[in-house]
Structure 1
Amino acid sequence: MTFDALGIASTGMTVNRKWIDAVSDNLSNLNTVRPMDEEAFRAKYIIATAAGYPTQTEGTRVAGVELGTAEGRVVYEPDHPMANEDGYVRYPEIDMSSQMTQLIMAQRAYQANAAVVERARSTYEQALTIGRS
């Protein structure tokens, strides 16, 4: 049971880490400008699923990465060096407040899984101590 808890919590930590990485990448590219003849930076969204679903549950895993729209936000900035002849450039379609909310959720989920790992480790150590007596 203790080893199951360690394994399941560690899969959750892996998913949470990838979620944090994706959000960090999205936030760092929030103001990335592209010319109109190129795609905008595409935000990354992690798709998580139960590992072993539907026959059994073995924690979680990343099932894939969904990308945001390539069209992005078209902004009129005629003075921008990448602007087309009509004065437009592309920005990614990323909402900073939504990304910050996602970041907080991923961090808290990671912390919760880390706490489970710590408790399981402590329980395992206690079991070894009892076995020595």
Structure 2
Amino acid sequence: MSLSNIFAISGSAMSAQTVRLNTVASNIANADSVASSVDQTYRARKPVFEQMMTEEMRQRGWSASDDVMEGSAGMGVHVAGIVESDAPLKARFEPDSPMANEEGYVFYPNVNPVEEMADMMSASRSFQTNVEIMNSAKSMMQKMLTLGQS
């Protein structure tokens, strides 16, 4: 693997973690929203990551040398989709609420704020790790250039 491929791999991981952070932000923002029916209630969303194979990376415009890509099975990650949680919604008896249905219940999302905060911290750390990987690769490439001039 050449150093230039590290940028493509880390870049794909950073893009995936950005989607993860945005999904967490959406979940937290909607954690206290209410609805009068199960169908209208916000459901927690989670991104699904998938290993990107070499041909997929070419199709998505990632650049890497052909000799390196031919010998590699996986060269990055992408978001295959975003799925809604099937955890049960929270129904609360609040007959005075303007959002209450005819039985007096309002429905709250199945968002667990503690889980979302842990997910946010994990995504943030993963993003930062990939930034550090890119910085290390950049430093190594600069060092190689200075060695080549000697």
TM-score over 0.5 for the alignment?
yes
Q: CA RMSD in A?
A: 1.8
Counterpart position of 1:78: 95
Counterpart position of 1:49: 50
Residue identity (%):
28
Counterpart position of 2:24: 23
> Could you tell me which amino acid in structure 2 is paired with residue 35 of structure 1?
S
Contact 2:94–2:104 (Cα < 8 Å) also in 1: yes
Contact 1:40–1:70 (Cα < 8 Å) also in 2: no
Give the alignment of 1:1-133 within 5 angstroms: 1-36=2-37, 38-52=39-53, 56-69=73-86, 72-133=89-150
Q: Could you list the runs of 4 or more consecutive aligned residues of structure 1 that deviate by over 6 angstroms after TM superposition?
A: none
SS at 1:59 equivalent: strand
Cα distance in 2 for residues equivalent to 1:11 and 1:18: 11
Shift in Å at residue 125 of structure 1? 1.4
Shift in Å at residue 63 of structure 1? 1.1
Cα distance in 1 for residues equivalent to 2:38 and 2:130: 44
Unaligned runs of 5+ residues in structure 1 are: none
Which deviations, in whole Å up to 9, do the C-alpha atoms of 1:15-61 show, x marking residues without a partner? Answer: 111101101110010001111264210211010011118x7111111
SS at 1:100 equivalent: helix
SS at 2:142 equivalent: helix
Contact 2:38–2:107 (Cα < 8 Å) also in 1: no
Which deviations, in whole Å up to 9, do the C-alpha atoms of 1:64-107 show, x marking residues without a partner? Answer: 11112496221111111111122111110111111111111111
Contact 1:71–1:90 (Cα < 8 Å) also in 2: no
> Normalized against structure 1, the TM-score is what?
0.91
Which sits farther off after the overlay, 36-45 or 100-109?
36-45
**How many residue pairs were aligned?**
132
> Normalized against structure 2, the TM-score is what?
0.81
> Could you tell me which amino acid in structure 2 is paired with residue 21 of structure 1?
N
Closer/same/farther in 2, CA of residues 82 and 43 from structure 1, 3 Å limit: same
SS at 1:51 equivalent: strand
